RNA sequence: GCCCUCAUCGUCUAGCGGUCAGGACGGGACCCUUUCAAGGUCCAGACAGGGGUUCGACUCCCCUUGGGGGCACCA
């Protein structure tokens, strides 16, 4: 018997219209970044079509459950701005949205499959199955259940079920083939003989993913099933289940996974963290959203796309078929782009919040917002990650900046010239004291004059001053920074540097 | 081992039978410049290989190669 191929009716009838789609995570820990990308695409598709985005908890494996997962999953979505219309926390017309609370639904489906002869009870023990697999491996045969219990007469099976552990397996047709329509790649056909009789109900009376997916996505009227393409090989099983239960099949979108640079699985080593970790590390939600969305999907020549823009132009069937590689550098660049685009006040607030985390505990909190607002314009285009900020501006907060090692001053043009260097700094200090207005333009003019007087190039002198005042070689613009630091500390720091150099002579 | 799937610059992609194969990240050069950035200009860089189909293939088909995934009482 050949299963009739899905003609794509579900696909064509729902194209373009409002989509009911779902994100269905397992509470087994923080969602993986690839998993989140699927959620983003799914959400965008719902918003693009004016449909609904639903969250459903797939908690059918009691042994793998990690406490607190649900909160972190929902927290991740929230942080990314992926709001849901129905879910385990807010309920909805098809509640409950936790599979562990929907057991009766699965049992009803199993009863029907059993009654129709599309499923059967299997009494094989785990030990027996292990042994079977071992044998298959030795004989170089494909692994899979061979149907030992498939032909047990129903009355006998029912009797044994009274006091024996059992699972329920779907009776896959032994012949023919099954075709699944994937929105991205068209028809995918597999021979039924390559499918084994998979378990749909475990011995603890919980469903497996296969059954739960079919029952719930039907009950919740999901139009498009979006999931990672590790599910593609089992999609025909699901199709068979839909057919056996007499349910219409949803449209499927199996998207490729994200690869690590160099190939293979993505891990923390490659800069892939959980969403919440990105949040902690100071990435912007919109930047991560944008980045994840365009890795594995594209819209013409566009790269930087706002949330609104993405909703507007996102087409789910434009998802790329080949697995994309995670490009952390691109993410960082995008984060910088979003940072630079931010309105001044908003940027200042983000900076302040971050500094309250990163700055030394000696600095009193809450941070002086007026001071933050002063240097914020100086650093805006110098920051890619929020963690770049503290090292760039900490000298604004220190009453005393430690003078860097003398060697740092006596480099480049000042190499082996401690006398000239010290004299130059001395000149700087006295000229700064004499300056009549403490603003950037005046300071620059004054120090350029100083440079000429001591016979140094302006840039070389500025390097000295920068080092003395900030303790760093890389800083925000020097004169603007000095204005913020103030005349007295600047002079003191320059004198301290001068002293250190003289002491080393 | 069997099955499924994918294939354009280093990376993410545009292309949907006729293009100088475009853009972005990264790289290089130059400009700007008090450091570092940002910004600007420019440069290098790809259709995996082989067969077909066609007047014409990056585009369609087949094979090879390579990558990815699946074959649990996990999802």
The tens digit of pLDDT for each residue in A454-498 reads 999 999 999 999 999 999 999 999 999 999 999 999 999 999 999
- From the C1' of B25, which residue's alpha carbon is nearest? A330
Residue A301 domain flag = no
Tell me the three state secondary structure of residue A110.
helix
A 36-65 residues, CB < 7 A, strand B:
58, 60-61, 64
Parallel, antiparallel or unpaired: strands A186-191 and A258-259 = unpaired
Highest mean pLDDT among A7-16, A217-226, A252-261: A217-226
Burial of A235 (0-12, 13-18, 19+ CB in 10 A): buried
Nucleotides of B under 7 A from a protein CB: 1-8, 10-14, 22-26, 34-39, 67-75
Does residue A188 belong to any structural domain of this protein? yes
Number of domains in chain A: 3
Whether A385 and A438 share a structural domain: no
- Rounded to whole angstroms, how far apart are CA atoms A212 and A27? 15
A297 part of a folded domain: no
A16 pLDDT above the threshold of 80: no
Peptide bond into A96 cis (omega under 30): yes
Same domain? A247 vs A348: no
pLDDT bracket for residue A3 (50, 70, 90): very low
Mean pLDDT calculated for residue range A41-65: 97
Bigger pLDDT: A265 or A362?
A362
- Which nucleotide has its C1' atom closest to residue A180's CA? B4
Within residues 297-356 of protein chain A, the ones with CB less than 7 A from nucleic strand B are: 297-298, 300-301, 303, 318, 320-325, 327, 329-330, 333, 336-337, 340
Helices (H), A398-477: 406-409, 418-434, 440-454, 458-470
pLDDT at A15: 52
Final residue in a domain of this structure, among A240, A258, A276:
A258
Task: Take residue A431 and report the two structure tokens written for it.
Answer: 């000229």
- pLDDT class of A6 with cuts at 50, 70, 90: very low
Q: Can you tell me the distance from the alpha carbon of A149 to that of A432, in angstroms, rounded to the nearest whole number?
A: 93
Residue A185: count of CB within 10 angstroms of its CB? 15
Query: What's the pLDDT score for residue A272?
Result: 78
Choosing from A148, A268, A412, A457, which is the catalytic residue?
A268
Instruction: Identify whether residues A11 and A114 lie together within a single domain.
Output: yes
**Domain range for A104:** 2-258
Verify whether residue A268 is a known catalytic residue: yes
Express each pLDDT in A146-188 by its tens digit.
999 999 999 999 999 999 999 999 999 999 999 999 999 999 9
Contact A281, A273 (CB under 8 A): yes
Q: Give the pLDDT of residue A150.
A: 95
Distance of alpha carbon A128 from alpha carbon A65, whole angstroms? 27
| A271 in any annotated domain | no
Residue after which a domain boundary falls, among A210, A238, A258: A258
A129 and A43 share one domain: yes
Q: Is there a contact between A153 and A167 (Cβ–Cβ < 8 Å)? A: no
Whether residue A429 is found in the same domain as residue A387: no
CA A474 / C1′ B43 distance in Å: 29
**Domain ends where: A216, A238, A258?**
A258
Q: What is the ipTM of this complex?
A: 0.96
Domain CATH code at residue A81: 3.40.50.620
A462 touches strand B (CB under 7 A): yes
Which 352-381 positions of A have CB less than 7 A from strand B?
381
Q: Does residue A194 approach strand B to less than 7 Å at its CB? A: yes
A190 touches strand B (CB under 7 A): yes
- Do A391 and A411 lie in one domain? The reply is no
pLDDT of residue A141: 87
Question: Tell me, what CATH number does A480's domain have?
Answer: 1.10.10.350
Give yes or no: residues A84 and A227 share one domain: yes
Q: Read off the CATH number of the domain in which A367 is found.
A: 1.10.8
State the pLDDT at residue A268.
78
Q: Output the CA torsion sign for A95, A98, A99, A102.
A: negative
The answer to whether residues A41 and A143 belong to one domain is yes
Output the average pLDDT for chain A.
93
Q: Mind listing the pLDDT tens digit for each residue in A324-375? A: 999 999 999 999 999 999 999 999 999 999 999 999 999 999 999 999 999 9
pLDDT of residue A8: 33
Q: How far is the CA of A104 from the C1' of B20 (A)?
A: 65
DSSP characters over A18-56: --EEEE---SSSSPPHHHHHHHHHHHHHHHHHT-EEEE-
Q: How far is the CA of A255 from the C1' of B19 (A)?
A: 30
Please give the structure tokens belonging to residue A377.
């314009």
C-alpha–C-alpha distance, residues A211 and A106, integer Å: 7
- The answer on A481 and A372 residing in a single domain is no
What is the CA A366 to C1' B74 distance in angstroms? 47
Is the CB of residue A471 inside 7 Å of nucleic acid strand B?
no
Residue A363: exposure state from Cβ atoms within 10 A (0-12, 13-18, ≥19): middle
Q: Is residue A310 part of a domain?
A: no
Does a structural domain hold residue A214? yes
HEC letters along A324-369: EECCHHHHHHHHHHHHHHCCHHHHHHHHHHHHHHHCCCCCCCCCCH
Residue position matching structure tokens 């032909």: A151
Mark whether A391 and A490 lie in a shared domain. Answer: no
Q: A466 and A381 in one domain?
A: no
Say whether pLDDT at A232 is over 50: yes
Measured CA to C1', the nucleotide nearest A321 is B6
Distance A333 CA to B47 C1' (A): 28
With a cut of 50, say whether residue A14 has pLDDT above it: no
Percent of chain A with pLDDT over 70: 97
User: What does the CA dihedral A286, A290, A292, A294 come to, rounded to 10 degrees?
Assistant: 180
Q: Say if A56 falls within a structural domain.
A: yes
The pTM of this model reads: 0.94
Please write the tens of the pLDDT for every residue from A83-109.
999 999 999 999 999 999 999 999 999
pLDDT confidence tier of residue A54, bands split at 50, 70 and 90: very high
Same structural domain for residues A361 and A232? no
pLDDT-based confidence at residue A262 (cuts at 50, 70, 90): confident
């Amino acid at each position: 018997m050949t299963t009739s191929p899905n003609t794509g009716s579900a696909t064509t009838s729902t194209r373009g219209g409002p989509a009911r789609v779902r994100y269905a995570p397992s509470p087994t820990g923080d969602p993986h970044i690839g998993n989140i990308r699927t959620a983003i695409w799914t959400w965008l598709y719902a918003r693009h079509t004016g449909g609904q985005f639903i969250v459903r908890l797939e908690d059918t494996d009691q042994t793998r459950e990690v406490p607190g997962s649900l909160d972190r999953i929902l927290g991740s979505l929230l942080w990314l701005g992926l709001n849901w219309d129905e879910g385990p926390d807010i309920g909805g017309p098809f509640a409950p949205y936790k599979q562990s609370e929907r057991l009766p639904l699965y049992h009803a489906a199993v009863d029907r499959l059993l009654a129709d002869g599309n499923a059967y009870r299997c009494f094989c023990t785990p030990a027996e199955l292990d042994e079977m697999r071992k044998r298959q491996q030795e004989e170089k045969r494909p692994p899979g259940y061979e149907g030992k219990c498939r032909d047990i007469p129903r009355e006998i099976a029912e009797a044994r079920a009274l006091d024996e552990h059992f699972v329920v397996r779907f009776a896959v047709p032994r012949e023919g083939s099954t075709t699944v329509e994937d929105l991205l790649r068209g028809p995918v056909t597999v021979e039924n003989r390559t499918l084994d009789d998979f378990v749909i109900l475990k011995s603890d009376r919980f469903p497996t993913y296969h059954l739960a997916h079919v029952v719930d996505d039907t009950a919740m009227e999901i139009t498009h099933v979006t999931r990672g393409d590790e599910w593609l090989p089992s999609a025909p099983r699901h199709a068979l289940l839909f057919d056996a239960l007499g349910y219409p099949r949803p449209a499927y979108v199996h998207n490729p996974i994200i690869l690590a640079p160099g190939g293979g699985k993505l891990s923390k080593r490659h800069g892939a963290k959980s969403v919440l970790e990105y949040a902690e590390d100071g990435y912007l939600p919109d930047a991560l959203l944008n980045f994840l969305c365009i890795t594995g999907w594209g819209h013409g020549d566009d790269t930087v796309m706002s949330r609104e823009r993405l909703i507007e132009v996102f087409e789910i069937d434009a998802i790329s078929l080949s697995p994309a590689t995670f490009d952390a550098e691109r993410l960082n660049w995008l984060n910088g782009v979003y940072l630079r685009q931010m309105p001044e006040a908003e940027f200042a607030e983000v900076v302040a919040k971050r500094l309250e985390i990163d700055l030394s505990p000696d600095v009193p909190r809450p941070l002086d917002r007026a001071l933050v607002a002063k240097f914020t314009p100086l650093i805006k285009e110098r920051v890619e990650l929020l963690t770049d900020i503290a090292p760039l501006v900490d000298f604004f907060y220190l009453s005393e900046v430690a003078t860097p090692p003398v060697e740092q001053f006596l480099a480049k043009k000042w190499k082996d010239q401690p006398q000239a260097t010290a004299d130059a700094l001395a000149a700087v200090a006295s000229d700064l004291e004499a300056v009549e207005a403490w603003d950037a333009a005046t300071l620059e003019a004054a120090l350029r004059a100083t440079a000429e007087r001591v016979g140094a190039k302006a840039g070389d002198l500025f390097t000295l001053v920068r080092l003395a005042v900030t303790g760093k070689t890389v800083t925000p613009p020097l004169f603007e920074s000095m204005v913020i630091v103030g005349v007295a500390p600047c002079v003191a720091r320059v004198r301290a540097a001068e002293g250190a150099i003289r002491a080393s002579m």
